[in-house]
Amino acid sequence: AQSVAQPEDQVNVAEGNPLTVKCTYSVSGNPYLFWYVQYPNRGLQFLLKYITGDNLVKGSYGFEAEFNKSQTSFHLKKPSALVSDSALYFCAVRDGHSGYALNFGKGTSLLVTP
């Protein structure tokens, strides 16, 4: 099955600094990768996806992600973090063997401090 891993349970960053949330993937074939964000007591919101093409994908709220095939990574980045970016971030991969359901990583809690 296709899977992703998020090696960090929590990432702390100061407001205004760049942030990176890491994700690595394990897939057979071409990867279809997604990032979602979950704010407290809310559902998951789609941020961006990588299907094919440019390795740098731009998404919502100023987020972008860099796809690296040789390192099997899809890290989420933002040049300048905001306190309001504090949330739970999930990396996911589309699994063609499970009805194309999204398989999620365990999530990374991002805390941006003023």
Partner 1 sequence: DSGVTQTPKHLITATGQRVTLRCSPRSGDLSVYWYQQSLDQGLQFLIQYYNGEERAKGNILERFSAQQFPDLHSELNLSSLELGDSALYFCASSPWGGGSLDTEAFFGQGTRLTVV
Q: Which tokens is 47 given? A: 């941020």
Asked if residue 46 binds partner 1 (CB under 8 A), the reply is yes
77 binds partner 1 (CB under 8 A): no
Segment contacting partner 1 by CB under 8 A, of 7-15, 37-45, 60-68, 76-84 = 37-45
Alpha-carbon distances, residue 55 vs 3, 12, 45 (angstroms)? 19, 25, 22
Give whichever of 82 and 88 is closer to partner 1, judged by the CB atom. Answer: 88
User: Shortest gap between Cβ of 14 and partner 1 (angstroms)?
Assistant: 27
Residues 8, 79, 111, 107, CA torsion sign: negative
# binding residues, partner 1 (CB under 8 A): 24
Choice from 78, 81, 87, 103 touching partner 1 (CB under 8 A): 103
Q: How far is the CB of 7 from partner 1 (least distance, A)?
A: 14
Stretch that binds partner 1, among 16-24, 60-68, 70-78, 103-111 (CB under 8 A): 103-111
What's the min distance (Å) between Cβ of 113 and partner 1? 24
Which pair of structure tokens corresponds to residue 73?
């990574």
Are 16 and 80 in contact by the 8 Å Cβ rule? The answer is: yes
Instruction: Give 40-49's long-range contacts (Cβ < 8 A, gap of 24+).
Output: 40/87, 44/90, 47/76, 47/89
